[in-house]
Structure 1
Amino acid sequence: MWSGAKRERVMFALAVTASVVFGFLTVADAWVLGWATDEAIVPAFQNGDTTSAAIWAAAFAFLIVALIRTLAVIGRRLFGGIVYYRLVRDDRLNVTRAYVRLPLSWHRKHSTGSLLSNANADVEARWGVFMPLPMAIGTVAMMIAAIVTMLAADVVLTIVGLVSFPLLFLANGIYQRWQAPRIALAQQLRAELSSVAHESFDGALVVKSLGREAAETQRFARVSEQLRDANVSIGRVRAVFDPFIEALPNLAVLAVIVLGTARVLNGQAAAGDVVQIAFMFTVVAMPVRSFGWVLGELPRAVVGEARVSSVLNERSQMVWGTDSVPASGPVEVLVTDVSYSHPDDPATRALTDLSFTVAPGSVTAIVGSTGSGKSTLISLLARLTDPDAGDVRFGGVDVRNLTQTAFTGAVALVPQATFIFDDTVRANVCLGLEISEDELLEVLELVQARTFIEQLPDGLGTVLGERGTSLSGGQRQRIALARALVRKPQVLLLDDATSALDPHVEQAILRALGARKDAPTTIVVAYRKATIALADQIVLLAAGQIEDAGTEADLRSRSVRYRDLVDAYDVARGEVDHE
């Protein structure tokens, strides 16, 4: 809590000040009532008459106190709300920045639903305590003023009434201990529910095509029911404690009235003092509940703090250097003794002692059966992760020594899964780059996307929708290729990035790309025989190792594995139109 108050010290101070003013005026209201009782109401009952001056003075005092209290309540809620929403906004931004900063290896260990929960529900829970906190602090000031005022009026009645407050704090403490594990479970289940929902929505095609609607509904219902039960458990605890906590101040008021009446009849206390103290306990009871609200929010805040801090304090990140890529055109790619194991299975080598060279401006095809390490190699070349041993060099510079700007400016990756943002065609291709119309159309022509884009309702301004579901797989891949090429990369990495294209379209794109005078150094994961034939060099992977490397003719003549792999693929796949 202290860190939040420190971050928003001005607004928090204003909220607390307004709450303190409200507290003091609450006490003043009770004092005015007591004074009015003695000066205007009691004389009216005793003498049958009272002075208009006393009535007007009491009315004016009540009016002034009520007006200032109203302004204090507005200030407390306004400034307190500003504090809360600013803290939530800042944390959401910080969590998002952490997501962007953290390496892909970290993201693979955390579900999307959990990440969404961290940035939303957990952030709100972390700072939820700041909504009642200013009122609770103001209540402390109010309690001090109230106790002093009540002691001055009648010590006995004050002591009788105050007996309820230790019981109130004890009940709140027990309440917090009982609620903490229940709220922690509910927060965890919210994250799980978000994960299940995200998976179901993301895998809508699989769910619909395989008739898994009922199973997915049941899976969602199971977690939803668990969350319901957790929330019901929280509600049960509140149902037990809330009436008890509500009743304690009322019992104190009742005790003060009963004892106070006896003391007035015995001449030991003035009627105004009894009214003042009874009313004081009545109006103080509600603000005192703010301690309960703070304590009630603390378990959620603790859980939210832990979950958000686990992201913000995570220090695993890609370390960048200070060098730049030495050349402005295509560069040599040198892979030397590279080995890598996945973090979840460190004992098994995914890649072992890989070494090969890709000449500037040339095309190298990576070929291998499923699980041979092709995509893992591409992820190392794209520096989505770093090798356990060995190094990757662009233009003679270890990629780990490059600045992030230099590296991302030099390399473009087109992955297996094409992602399309819910934005226009232009925005999806440019992604923030300032590209002229002519340059953009030239790249779209090269990837054979210009024709179908011009046929869209608004051309380049057409909004493609979430994940580009209105486009075919081949169209999405062409947009992804254009997105990479418009950046004029020095190294282009294609991880099965043309699998949804017609073979002749794929070949036409790769031939056009290779014919450009500024053609990047290209490394492509390939399966089709005709595509592989366009490569200047072929690297054959088997079980994470380079089994052979050379031209297509070399490998066809000497590698049975290569022939079987490529021929089997073409026979199985044929000339299928995937659009």
Structure 2
Amino acid sequence: MIRFLLQISQGARRYIFAIIAVGITDVALTLLFVWSSKELVDIATGESQRDFLFMASLFAIQVLFQILLRSIEVRITSLAEVKVANSLRNILFEHLLHAEWHPVSALNRGDTLTRMIKDTDDLVRLLTKILPLSFTAILQLCGAVVFFFILDWRLALILTIAMPLLLLISRIYYFPMKRYTKEVKESESSITSHVEESMANQLVIKTFELQDQELEKLNELQIDLHGKVDRKSRISFFARAIAGMAFQGGYLLAFVRGAYGLATQTITFGTLTAFLQLVGRIQRPLFELTRLIPGIISAKTATERLRDIIGLKRETVPVKNLLQGPLSLVIKELSYSYRPGSRPVINNLSFTLNPGEMVAIMGETGVGKTTLARLLLGLVKPDKGSMEFIHNQKRITIDATTRSNFVYVPQEKLLFKGTIRDNLLMGNAEASEVQLRQALETASATFAFMLPNGLDTIIGEGGFGLSEGEAQRISIARSLLRPGRILLLDESSSSLDYVTEQAFLSHLKKNLNGRSVIFITHHKEVAAQCDMTIRFSENNRVRGGHISSP
């Protein structure tokens, strides 16, 4: 955990150390405040001959400095929180983006979002508030105890006996609190996942009239969360009640001892004032430390949950290998299954795709067509067989390093919130207006120029504001701006009507410029435009697809 905290605190350590420095200064001023208030009372009652004006001025300066320090602490803490949160979320996001595809695809998006937001907040709180406050609390405790020993060592010794008792109490409730904290976080993730999934499937929920069922499910999840929070709060209540009784007992003891001292004239009024203040200076740090324990437990639980993300196996892509010029694809006896010992999804598949050729991969759902795309993109590795490029008479093995040679267009309309231009430039940030127009024309997406704001029209997440077919064509145009020599279109014309689809295929054929195309499709009309067709089926996939003329 310590190594992880050191890693995520990079860039914010100076702020964290500054918070600690402010806390140390505040502790010194607090103890000085106790001493100066004692002296002022003794001067007022005639027990001390010090200069009243000097002590009053010193007292006022201390108060002003403490106000200033607390304002500075708020500012530094705010900056530290932003720095640590940004650093941690960047680390997590970077791991998610560069992890191997298969484990990332299995993650629940709602749970992952909860970890990246709520769990990171727990760690930010630990670094910027809990740890600095723990350090200064311990320092204040030690300083107050020393001061108390100077004034009355017997009373100081009695009060410090409470420390082991409080530590014992915190130890007793640490483990159940940790268990309940983990359960609460899991419930929060379930709620976030449910809401995220429902928002993503609003159309199904509305058309199936499932609103009441979804609300009922959310209510059940919230009731479950409430129960877990209730159990967690009971433990916390018990610990706080015990600590509170110990603290009040300390005040009572100090007051009675001070009153007795005044009655026997063994202490001054100033000393009594110091007693009561020092009890607070001893017990407040102890109270703060016990109050921080739930936060420490939450942070420890959050660390374990975030390590699941940090621990994702990283995809190894040492150097991108983008090939220029004519490129042939050769697949030989390729086989793949998702689990060891299970039935292969692809078995002994072989075919060759030459520059400028178009091939259609056809078959029913679930027979391995999209799996082939994942293999070509290096997202998963084949069990046996080979996938190679032939480039300048050299054979180059296809893996994650050769991914940039494919231009992948998935079936989903994966457009981002922003303008149409922003989405197109994701394909090639340096694309000129001429290149943008050519890509849109090839994708039969010239409708974009007729929109009120043209390419600067703002669209929502997932292409909101465009029809299914329009969003799909913008997606295709964006892919055509990529430099890869082989287009990999996974049902990318599924939302197009027959006329638009035929126009797109015609434009694509004319503008291939030596590029090859792999269509994963159910449309016979698409296959008819291709140079060859590879048919997958449930019955023959074990033997592999076969090649036939269109």
- Indicate whether the TM-score tops 0.5: yes
Residue 311 of structure 1 and its aligned partner are, at CA, apart by: 1.0
Residue 361 of structure 1 and its aligned partner are, at CA, apart by: 1.1
Q: Percent identity?
A: 22
Kindly provide the CA deviation profile for residues 465-520 of structure 1, in whole angstroms up to 9, marking residues without a partner as x: 12123222211111111011122430001111111112232122112211225142
Residue 546 of structure 1 and its aligned partner are, at CA, apart by: 2.5
Q: Identify which of 149, 171, 174 aligns with 1:173.
A: 171
* Separation in 2, partners of 1:33, 1:136: 26
* Separation in 2, partners of 1:171, 1:62: 38
* Separation in 1, partners of 2:263, 2:320: 92
* Separation in 2, partners of 1:517, 1:469: 30
Residue 92 of structure 1 and its aligned partner are, at CA, apart by: 0.3
For structure 1, list consecutive stretches of 5 or more residues without a partner in the other structure.
44-49, 553-579
Residue 2 of structure 1 and its aligned partner are, at CA, apart by: 4.2
2:538 aligned with 1:538, yes or no?
no
Residue 244 of structure 1 and its aligned partner are, at CA, apart by: 3.3
* Separation in 2, partners of 1:445, 1:323: 30
Q: Which residue of 2 aligns with 1:332?
A: 328
Q: Secondary structure at the match of 1:372?
A: coil
2:100 aligned with 1:96, yes or no?
no
Q: Which residue of 2 aligns with 1:412?
A: 407
- 1:219-238 maps to which residues of 2 (within 5 A)? 219-238=217-236
Q: Secondary structure at the match of 1:538?
A: strand
Q: Identify which of 17, 22, 29 aligns with 2:26.
A: 22
Whether the 8 Å CA contact 1:429–1:479 is kept in 2: the answer is yes
Whether the 8 Å CA contact 1:382–1:493 is kept in 2: the answer is no
- Relative distance call for 1:547 and 1:257 in structure 2 (3 A) is closer
Q: Which residue of 1 aligns with 2:359?
A: 364
Q: Secondary structure at the match of 1:413?
A: strand
* Separation in 2, partners of 1:366, 1:325: 24
Q: Secondary structure at the match of 2:334?
A: strand
* Separation in 2, partners of 1:227, 1:90: 30
* Separation in 2, partners of 1:434, 1:277: 73
- Relative distance call for 1:221 and 1:394 in structure 2 (3 A) is farther
- Relative distance call for 1:515 and 1:388 in structure 2 (3 A) is same
* Separation in 2, partners of 1:81, 1:293: 21
Residue 425 of structure 1 and its aligned partner are, at CA, apart by: 0.9
Whether the 8 Å CA contact 1:126–1:303 is kept in 2: the answer is no
Residue 69 of structure 1 and its aligned partner are, at CA, apart by: 2.2
Q: Identify which of 32, 37, 41 aligns with 1:33.
A: 37
- 1:287-298 maps to which residues of 2 (within 5 A)? 287-298=285-296
AA in 2 matched with 1:472: S
Kindly provide the CA deviation profile for residues 315-360 of structure 1, in whole angstroms up to 9, marking residues without a partner as x: x23323547354424x1111122111114x7522111121111111
* Separation in 2, partners of 1:309, 1:42: 64
Kindly provide the CA deviation profile for residues 56-82 of structure 1, in whole angstroms up to 9, marking residues without a partner as x: 233212112212222333344433443
For structure 1, which segment, 332-341 or 165-174, has the greater mean C-alpha deviation from structure 2 after superposition? Answer: 165-174
* Separation in 1, partners of 2:502, 2:117: 46
AA in 1 matched with 2:369: K
Whether the 8 Å CA contact 1:339–1:351 is kept in 2: the answer is yes
AA in 2 matched with 1:349: P
AA in 2 matched with 1:523: I
Kindly provide the CA deviation profile for residues 433-466 of structure 1, in whole angstroms up to 9, marking residues without a partner as x: 221112111221122111x213322111111112
For structure 1, which segment, 231-240 or 332-341, has the greater mean C-alpha deviation from structure 2 after superposition? Answer: 231-240
TM-score by length of structure 1 reads: 0.87
Whether the 8 Å CA contact 2:322–2:484 is kept in 1: the answer is no
Q: Secondary structure at the match of 2:451?
A: coil
- Relative distance call for 1:129 and 1:488 in structure 2 (3 A) is closer
Residue 97 of structure 1 and its aligned partner are, at CA, apart by: 0.6
AA in 2 matched with 1:397: I
* Separation in 2, partners of 1:135, 1:122: 20
- Relative distance call for 1:139 and 1:326 in structure 2 (3 A) is closer
- Relative distance call for 1:174 and 1:496 in structure 2 (3 A) is same
For structure 1, which segment, 250-259 or 71-80, has the greater mean C-alpha deviation from structure 2 after superposition? Answer: 71-80
Q: Secondary structure at the match of 1:317?
A: coil
- Relative distance call for 1:476 and 1:169 in structure 2 (3 A) is same
2:523 aligned with 1:528, yes or no?
yes
Q: Identify which of 29, 54, 66 aligns with 1:57.
A: 54
* Separation in 1, partners of 2:71, 2:293: 23
Q: Secondary structure at the match of 1:546?
A: coil
Residue 407 of structure 1 and its aligned partner are, at CA, apart by: 3.0
- Relative distance call for 1:278 and 1:13 in structure 2 (3 A) is same
**Number of paired residues?**
537
Q: Identify which of 211, 216, 219 aligns with 1:218.
A: 216
* Separation in 2, partners of 1:185, 1:231: 9
Q: Secondary structure at the match of 2:45?
A: helix
Kindly provide the CA deviation profile for residues 131-157 of structure 1, in whole angstroms up to 9, marking residues without a partner as x: 132122112222222222111111122
- Relative distance call for 1:37 and 1:266 in structure 2 (3 A) is same
* Separation in 1, partners of 2:19, 2:315: 41
Q: Which residue of 2 aligns with 1:208?
A: 206
Whether the 8 Å CA contact 1:363–1:522 is kept in 2: the answer is yes
Whether the 8 Å CA contact 1:423–1:465 is kept in 2: the answer is yes
- Relative distance call for 1:385 and 1:537 in structure 2 (3 A) is same
* Separation in 2, partners of 1:161, 1:434: 72
Kindly provide the CA deviation profile for residues 524-561 of structure 1, in whole angstroms up to 9, marking residues without a partner as x: 01222222111111111123343421212xxxxxxxxx
Q: Which residue of 2 aligns with 1:466?
A: 461
Kindly provide the CA deviation profile for residues 144-196 of structure 1, in whole angstroms up to 9, marking residues without a partner as x: 22222111111122223323333333333334333211111111111111111
Whether the 8 Å CA contact 1:161–1:253 is kept in 2: the answer is no
- Relative distance call for 1:332 and 1:419 in structure 2 (3 A) is same
Residue 204 of structure 1 and its aligned partner are, at CA, apart by: 0.8
* Separation in 1, partners of 2:24, 2:244: 23
- Relative distance call for 1:71 and 1:171 in structure 2 (3 A) is farther
Q: Which residue of 2 aligns with 1:387?
A: 382
* Separation in 2, partners of 1:166, 1:325: 65
Q: Which residue of 1 aligns with 2:398?
A: 399
* Separation in 1, partners of 2:241, 2:336: 61
Q: Secondary structure at the match of 1:292?
A: helix
Q: Which residue of 2 aligns with 1:10?
A: 14
Q: Identify which of 76, 80, 85 aligns with 2:82.
A: 85
Q: Secondary structure at the match of 1:336?
A: strand
* Separation in 2, partners of 1:167, 1:371: 63
Whether the 8 Å CA contact 1:21–1:138 is kept in 2: the answer is no
Whether the 8 Å CA contact 1:133–1:294 is kept in 2: the answer is no
* Separation in 1, partners of 2:545, 2:396: 26
* Separation in 2, partners of 1:67, 1:467: 55
Q: Which residue of 2 aligns with 1:72?
A: 69
- Relative distance call for 1:323 and 1:378 in structure 2 (3 A) is closer
Q: Identify which of 120, 123, 128 aligns with 1:126.
A: 123
Q: Which residue of 1 aligns with 2:158?
A: 160
Q: Secondary structure at the match of 2:413?
A: coil
